[in-house]
């Protein structure tokens, strides 16, 4: 038996101490300090419970609602709360409102997360529902207002909350990106990150020895329970997640906040705090993990790949990120969080207070969280058109020292609009369009090197047409050269090529 395995105290013993009012409870920050001064062993002996906290955007959140029956009754098949659609593939007056659902009238400004916050604040909410009508449910339309008190049940059930840690984000591209990781300035202009690090519940019980199905937690200012591992639970990489539930009617809107990420979407900020019973030395040790011991990878959101394929730019720690600056390619880059460390701290404090006042008792999990499991990507089995299939391989190009008139003639003779400019070794150095040439002639410029665009938007031949069409729309351009790894031009693709393909596709039907 490993020394760290030896049980110091049981959850039952801890609860008896809470009842007697002599449990020793520290927040994770206080536990770190104690371990630094007296060592982990002494801290493990002294401390019964370490409280944790996190407060961040958790998109996989939502609430099960039961509206009650109207007279005459309706079997709601479509339903909206403040114009935000509610999932209605359930019984007549049951629904699920997801935090990331967008308002059909206010777009990114308002959504499911905001409705949840408004419900908890006791605000009046517009309810609208439709149905096809049935003998037992004759009503086909309903419009009324509700508050949380009118509902029979409002149960927060969040399929994925409380990520153990999360990759940070930066942007190598030349354009500002608006993402679920916030505003990312061009050319590695900033780094954003999320997660409570040394206060995060799963970081403090790194081996999932105390948190499992049935663990009682602080959820949104009320009491909730862990009901299992969350979706995308990826313990082997240190990205554990939790599925949680709690009674929304007993929560507090201070700890459940609707949020909008500009040009991305809406979400819900959820406050979660979990008590870690110090049952053995190994748990005590992980409960003293510090920000400077928790690794975070900074990924490049300038590359539009799936999350785990975005290139890792750097490995840092939460301490580095929280310092306000990190170094990328020798340059100082400002870093800041998206989740609130201040609120995470507050939650750990509130939970500590609840326990000390005898209002909150710990539970033993009925089943542990899975410690194995990896994240799989979604394979696209249906064939998607790629650049390779649509690009033209015979590319008319020019050299930087070519005369403007000569280039203009090329465009006319070949009937094209885009002219990639290449160096002697075939590498792409610029591009000119018919519009550039018209202006160059009007302004009496002489050589392409004077007028060409040097920062060229390009495509790779293995990319999907969809990705490249999105890129062209973002840059308001109508064509991009296709380049290989050495930046040599191997083709060109234009919006014309893509629209022709669409027309062909339709005529085939």
Active site residues: 136
Q: How many residues bind other proteins (CB under 8 A)?
A: 31
327 binds other proteins (CB under 8 A): no
Tell me if 259 contacts other proteins by CB under 8 A.
yes
Select 301 or 360, whichever has its Cβ closest to other proteins: 301
Interface with other proteins, residue 27, by CB under 8 A:
no
Tokens linked to 6: 């030896």
Q: Does 40 bind other proteins (CB under 8 A)?
A: no
**Residue from 51, 161, 241, 267 binding other proteins (CB under 8 A):** 267
Q: Which residues of 51-81 are buried (b: 16+ CB within 10 A; e: fewer)?
A: bbbbbbbbbbbbbbbbbeeeeebbbbeebbb
In three-state secondary structure terms, 399 is coil
Residues 66 and 386 sit within 8 Å (Cβ to Cβ): no
- Pattern 86-125, other proteins, x by CB under 8 A: -----------------------x----------------
Q: Least distance (Å) from other proteins to the CB of residue 341?
A: 5
Torsion 476-482-488-491 (CA) sign: negative
Residues 275-314 as x/- pattern, contact with other proteins by CB under 8 A: ----------------------------------------
Identified binder of other proteins from the candidate list 257, 299, 314, 352, rule CB under 8 A = 257
Give the number of other CB atoms < 10 A from CB of residue 93: 22
- The verdict on 338 binding other proteins (CB under 8 A) reads yes
Using rule CB under 8 A, residue 183 touches other proteins: yes
CA 445 to mean position of chain CA atoms? 48
Count the Cβ atoms, other than its own, within 10 Å of residue 165.
22
Cα separation of the two ends of the chain: 69
d(CA 267, CA 126): 20
Output 251 or 259, the one with its CB closest to other proteins: 259
Q: What is the spatial distance between Cα 499 and Cα 497, in angstroms, rounded to a whole number?
A: 6
Which of 11, 343, 419, 498: binder of other proteins (CB under 8 A)? Answer: 343
What residues numbered 186-225 form the site for other proteins, per CB under 8 A?
189-192
Residue 61: DSSP 8-state: -
Of the candidate residues 27, 54, 56, 85, the single one contacting other proteins (CB under 8 A) = 56
Determine the Cα–Cα distance for residues 33 and 458; give it in Å rounded to an integer.
52
CA distance 393 to 412: 19
Of 175-183, 235-243, 379-387, 439-447, the segment contacting other proteins by CB under 8 A is 175-183
| Residues in contact with other proteins by the rule CB under 8 A | 55-57, 109, 178, 182-183, 185, 189-192, 257, 259-262, 267, 269, 324, 334-343, 345
């Amino acid at each position: 038996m490993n020394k760290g395995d030896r049980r110091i105290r049981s959850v039952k013993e801890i609860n008896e101490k809470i009842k007697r009012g002599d449990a020793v409870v520290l927040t994770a920050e206080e536990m770190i300090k104690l371990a630094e001064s007296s060592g982990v062993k002494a801290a493990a002996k002294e401390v019964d419970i370490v409280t944790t906290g996190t407060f961040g955007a958790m998109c996989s959140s939502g609430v099960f609602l039961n509206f009650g029956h109207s007279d005459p009754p309706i079997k709601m098949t479509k339903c909206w709360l403040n114009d935000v659609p509610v999932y209605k593939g359930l019984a007549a007056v049951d629904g699920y409102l997801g935090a990331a659902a967008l308002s059909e009238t206010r777009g990114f400004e308002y959504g499911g997360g905001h409705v949840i916050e408004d419900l908890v604040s006791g605000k009046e909410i517009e309810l609208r529902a439709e149905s096809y009508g049935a003998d037992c449910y004759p009503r086909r339309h309903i419009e009324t207002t509700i508050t949380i008190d009118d509902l029979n049940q409002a149960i927060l059930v969040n399929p994925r909350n409380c990520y153990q840690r999360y990759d940070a984000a930066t942007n190598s591209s030349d354009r500002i990106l608006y993402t679920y990781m916030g505003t990312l300035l061009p050319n590695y202009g900033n780094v954003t990150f999320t997660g409570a690090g040394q206060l995060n519940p799963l970081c403090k019980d790194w081996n999932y020895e105390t948190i499992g199905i049935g663990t009682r937690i602080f959820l949104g200012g009320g009491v909730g329970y862990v009901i299992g591992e969350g979706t995308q639970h990826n313990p082997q990489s240190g990205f554990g997640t939790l599925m949680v539930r709690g009674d929304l009617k007993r929560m507090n809107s201070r700890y459940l906040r609707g949020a909008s990420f500009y040009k991305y979407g809406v979400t819900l900020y959820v406050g979660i705090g979990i008590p870690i019973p110090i049952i053995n030395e190994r748990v005590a040790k992980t409960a003293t993990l510090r920000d400077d011991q928790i690794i975070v990878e900074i990924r490049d959101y300038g590359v539009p790949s799936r999350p785990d394929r975005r290139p890792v730019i750097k490995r840092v720690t939460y301490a580095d990120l929280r310092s306000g600056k990190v170094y990328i390619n020798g340059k100082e880059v400002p870093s800041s969080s998206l989740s609130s460390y201040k609120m995470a701290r507050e939650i750990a404090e509130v939970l500590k207070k609840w326990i000390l006042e005898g209002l909150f008792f710990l539970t033993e999990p009925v089943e542990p969280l899975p410690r194995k499991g990896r994240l799989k990507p979604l394979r696209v089995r249906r064939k998607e058109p790629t650049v390779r299939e649509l690009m033209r391989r015979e590319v008319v190009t020019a050299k930087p020292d070519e005369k403007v008139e000569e280039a203009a003639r090329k465009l006319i003779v070949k009937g094209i609009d885009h002219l990639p400019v290449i160096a002697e070794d075939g590498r792409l150095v610029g591009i000119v369009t018919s519009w550039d040439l018209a202006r160059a002639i009007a302004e009496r410029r002489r050589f392409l090197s004077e007028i060409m665009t040097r920062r060229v938007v390009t495509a790779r031949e293995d990319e999907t047409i969809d990705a490249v069409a999105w890129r062209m729309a973002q840059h308001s351009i109508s064509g991009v050269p296709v380049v290989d790894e050495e930046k040599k031009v191997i083709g060109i693709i234009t919006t014309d090529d893509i629209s022709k393909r669409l027309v062909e596709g339709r005529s085939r039907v």
